DNA sequence: ACCTGAAATGAAAACGGTTACATTTTAAAT
DNA sequence: ATTTAAAATGTAACCGTTTTCATTTCAGGT
């Protein structure tokens, strides 16, 4: 492969002139500029970006830790990240962590070994350990979607508590008072916030909270289906089910159908995320829309600002949500 | 940040010895090894991987061009790639191209500028142009899922023609003879192969092919829904619909439901891909299962072999498919 | 104790750019 | 024509590693 020296020789100038021609053309006379450009073509020069990155100390890579790319919501977030990163001249190193700390560590290490300039974490977990932290303290990271809100890192999240409250209020306004909830993993702050919002709405409406209307889940279709089967068999069945994400709701609806329960006549269903499928299931799912792509874009923008020293105190960005009422929720009967 | 020279000074040895201690410990006496290790700890040394990659000329990055990460099937493929790449010591630079040639070019250029060692393309399109190709000819690439089969690059694909034929035969065996097809984009070889398989089965069964049973689509839920609406209104309605992917089928089923058509009693539905949702829609979808994660793993393995010169002639790997019969297909009535 | 080959270590070049600094060329002002 | 500042270009150091080659140390055989 031709290098910058070959170009310099071919053009009869110094390597510095070649570099300047390519980086800051205005600092070079038009005459030599043409000579150099011609030489670049002649020898088929393509700059070794690895060398540039090494020399400049900036990799222009961003690591993204995503719990699972198979989750449709995350797929949208990633899509937004890609877009913003491309605009800002960064590339995304995507890590599908599957919640595995070892994988997280492996990729987090890329930041401390100069392979990436910063990291975006979509889970409420600090992937850096003592061995990675460098002299000057914190490593550049932005926490998005599901966040640890300790003020150390910039954060972009949703007011999950308010959103869950809004959805629960919607169900209450339809006359429901026995409202079940299929949760996410208990360890997730996101689950706790949504649970809190659910309780807020109950309390405000004077409905007492019942522990046994809570069902475990893990954001997958299968978990939703399992919980749905359980709920369908309950003697004192709830009249509405609020699921912590759409996959869970879709799984549960399928279980209800197989149990010959009609949604929403027998039981109302609500989800969270507004993934594309939710508008195309039967019945179309009432849910909370999150600006997923915008989450990704914001996280990247924030991280790049952080890298450029444009951020003093870790900002906290709260994204807006929207209650999308479709046909899976209806008046409570009986 | 401490560098290798700091370690050398702290340990009282040369930088060469430090490098050897870290790369090939057996080439260094146990005594100095300990000294060096202690010094590494003492100064908090973390090798600058950017420098290593630059020096070695190997980035250990692989670019993956995916038409859209929002497609659930591709998400699974990517997941498999991640896994294999991690095992082999490579990182994935993911590019969400959205079919945009400019984005493809941008990322493809990473290979010619030494930012990545090779590329995996999930679309039937050569992302390299004349400006990227280097002296020694072809750039390292593997083409997976939807492929251009010109023998230039290693390929990992499915026998889409055989799979489509198998599905069509299944429908025919249930007594269907008016079988519609909702296609993917016409430009896609994948679409052409599946169409050919569909025709193979018809021909074999002595059923004449009708051009007007073909409906356009683009692999999205919405396109499926649109086609479904059209089909529902047909005077001479087909009794079965074979969709080129599951999203399309799910979209179309929703349209049928809104038109009060029962699946499979009024109309049988078949998909392709076996995405997770397909088992949880109503009714569960008959489809063709593709080993998506295995696609990704194989593509990465093949690319790494190619990079290591372990491949002479571009291999062609054909992955197995499986017909998954669920409840969306039934006997033709009437 | 001495020689010899192997093992361990060190010195320095190399990878391919960027950039601070030095030098030359150019154009404008006298 | 001469001076002078600005513009253009060149020289060489530098980024942090790896690796070749030279040198030193070591252990084993006489």
Q: Is the pLDDT of residue B327 over 90?
A: yes
Rounded to whole angstroms, what are the CA distances from A176 to A182, A267, B173, B251?
A: 16, 10, 48, 30
Whether residue A219 sits in one domain with residue A174: yes
Q: Are residues A152 and A167 in the same domain?
A: no
A107 and A120 fall within a common domain: yes
Do B230 and B297 lie in a common domain?
A: no
Instruction: State how far the Cα of B24 lies from the Cα of A151, in Å rounded to an integer.
Output: 43
Q: What is the pLDDT of residue B330?
A: 97
In this structure, are A85 and A39 located in the same domain?
no
Q: Is residue A201, in this structure, part of any structural domain at all?
A: yes
Contacts of A54 in chain B (CB under 8 A): 48, 50-51, 53-54
Tell me the CATH number at A130: 3.40.50.2300
According to DSSP H, which parts of A44-92 are helical? 49-56, 72-88
- Which amino acid residue lies closest to nucleotide C11, measuring CA to C1'? B14
pLDDT at B334 over 70: no
Q: Which of A50, A95, A135 sits opposite B53 (nearest CB)?
A: A50
What is the mean predicted confidence (pLDDT) over B118-133?
Answer: 91
Say yes or no: B67 contacts chain A, CB-CB below 8 A: no
Based on the structure, what is the number of domains in chain B?
3
Whether B269 shows a pLDDT value over 70: the answer reads yes
**Does the residue B21 lie in any domain?**
yes
Mean pLDDT of B169-185: 97
d(CA B87, nearest CA chain A) in Å: 11
> Does residue A3 approach strand C to less than 7 Å at its CB?
yes
**Are B299 and B120 in contact, with CB atoms under 8 Å apart?**
yes
Q: Is the dihedral of CA A148, A152, A153, A155 positive or negative?
A: positive
Q: How far is CA B181 from the centre of its chain?
A: 23
Same domain, A30 and A66: no
Q: In what order do the strands lie in the sheet with A214-215?
A: A214-215, A179-182, A240-243, A268-270
Q: pLDDT grade, residue A211 (50/70/90)?
A: very high
Same domain, A207 and A311: no
pLDDT of res. A313: 87
The answer to whether the Cα torsion of A166, A171, A177, A180 is positive or negative is: negative
Residues A276 and A186 in one domain: yes
The pLDDT tens digits of the residues spanning B31-84 come to 999 999 999 999 999 999 999 999 999 999 999 999 988 888 999 999 999 999
For B42, the 3-state DSSP assignment is helix
Confidence band for A69, pLDDT divided at 50, 70 and 90? confident
**Structural domain contains residue B224:** yes
Q: Are residues B95 and B195 in the same domain?
A: no
pLDDT at B136 (0 to 100): 61
Domain that residue B29 falls in: 4-47
pLDDT in tens, A88-138: 999 999 898 988 898 899 999 999 999 999 999 999 999 998 888 765 678
Query: d(Cα B307, Cα B300) in Å, to the nearest integer?
Result: 10
CA B34 / C1′ C1 distance in Å: 33
Interface test with B, best of A47, A61, A257, A277 (most B CBs within 10 A): A277
* A148 plus A169 within the same structural domain: no
**pLDDT digits 0-9 by tens, A76-91:** 999 999 999 999 999 9
Side by side, the strands of the sheet bearing B118-121 are: A316-319, A155-158, A141-145, A118-121, A61-66, A91-96, B91-96, B61-66, B118-121, B141-145, B155-158, B316-319
Strand D: list protein residues with Cβ under 7 Å.
A 12-17, 20, 27-29, 31-32, 54-55, 57; B 1, 3-5, 15-16, 18-20, 22-23, 45-48, 51-52, 54-56
Closest CA relative to residue A73, chosen from A274, A316, A324, A314: A274
- Domain with B15 in it: what CATH number? 1.10.260.40
A280 plus A310 within the same structural domain: no
- Do residues B254 and B181 share a domain? yes
**Cα A80 to chain centroid, rounded:** 9
Domain presence at residue A169: yes
CB of B28 within 7 Å of some strand C atom = yes
> What is the residue-averaged pLDDT of chain B?
95
Average pLDDT value for residue range B311-324? 94
Average pLDDT in the B149-154 region? Answer: 92
Percent with pLDDT over 90 in chain A: 89
Report the C-alpha gap between B290 and B321 in whole angstroms.
5
Q: Does some domain include residue B332?
A: no
CB A104 within 8 A of CB A115: no
In a domain, residue A13? The reply is: yes
Say if residue B8's pLDDT is above 70.
yes
Q: Using alpha carbons, list the distances in angstroms from residue A11 to A37, A42, A49.
A: 9, 9, 21
Query: For residue B6, which nucleotide's C1' is closest to its Cα?
Result: D16
- pLDDT attached to residue B206: 97
Question: Given pLDDT bands bounded at 50, 70 and 90, which one contains residue B313?
Answer: confident
Q: Answer yes or no: is B277 within a domain.
A: yes
pLDDT at A299: 98
Tell me the pLDDT tens digit for each residue of A163-184. 999 999 999 999 999 999 999 9
Residue closest to sugar C1' of D25 by CA: B29
Domain membership of residue B329 (yes or no) is: no
CA angle B128, B133, B138 (to 5 degrees): 85
């Amino acid at each position: 492969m031709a290098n910058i020296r070959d170009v310099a020789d071919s053009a009869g100038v110094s390597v510095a002139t070649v570099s300047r021609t390519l980086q800051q053309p205005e600092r070079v006379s038009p005459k030599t500029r043409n000579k150099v450009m011609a030489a670049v073509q002649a020898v088929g020069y393509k700059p070794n970006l690895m060398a540039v990155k090494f020399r400049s100390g900036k990799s222009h890579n961003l690591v993204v830790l995503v719990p699972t790319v198979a989750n449709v919501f995350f797929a949208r977030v990633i899509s937004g990240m890609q877009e913003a990163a491309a605009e800002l001249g960064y590339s995304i190193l995507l890590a599908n962590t599957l919640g595995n700390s070892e994988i997280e560590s492996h990729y987090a290490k890329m930041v401390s070994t100069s392979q990436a300039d910063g990291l975006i974490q979509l889970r409420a977990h600090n992937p850096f350990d003592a061995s990675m932290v460098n002299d000057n303290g914190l490593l550049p990271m932005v926490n998005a979607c599901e966040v640890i809100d300790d003020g150390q890192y910039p954060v972009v999240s949703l007011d999950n508590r308010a959103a869950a409250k809004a959805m629960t209020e919607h169900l209450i306004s339809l006359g429901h008072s026995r409202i079940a909830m299929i949760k996410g993993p208990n360890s997730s702050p996101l689950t706790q916030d949504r649970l809190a919002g659910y309780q807020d709405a109950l309390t405000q409406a004077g409905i007492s909270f019942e522990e046994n209307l809570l069902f475990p889940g893990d954001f997958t279709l299968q978990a939703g289906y399992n919980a749905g089967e359980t709920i369908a068999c309950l003697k004192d069945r709830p009249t509405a089910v609020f699921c912590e994400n759409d996959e869970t709701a879709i799984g549960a609806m399928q279980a209800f159908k197989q149990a010959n329960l009609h949604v929403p006549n027998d039981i109302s269903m609500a989800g969270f995320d507004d993934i594309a499928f939710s508008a195309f299931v039967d019945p179309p799912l009432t849910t909370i829309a999150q600006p997923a792509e915008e989450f990704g874009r914001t996280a990247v923008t924030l991280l790049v600002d952080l890298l450029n020293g444009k951020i003093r105190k870790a900002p906290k960005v709260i994204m807006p949500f929207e209650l999308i009422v479709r046909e899976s929720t209806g008046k409570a009967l009986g």
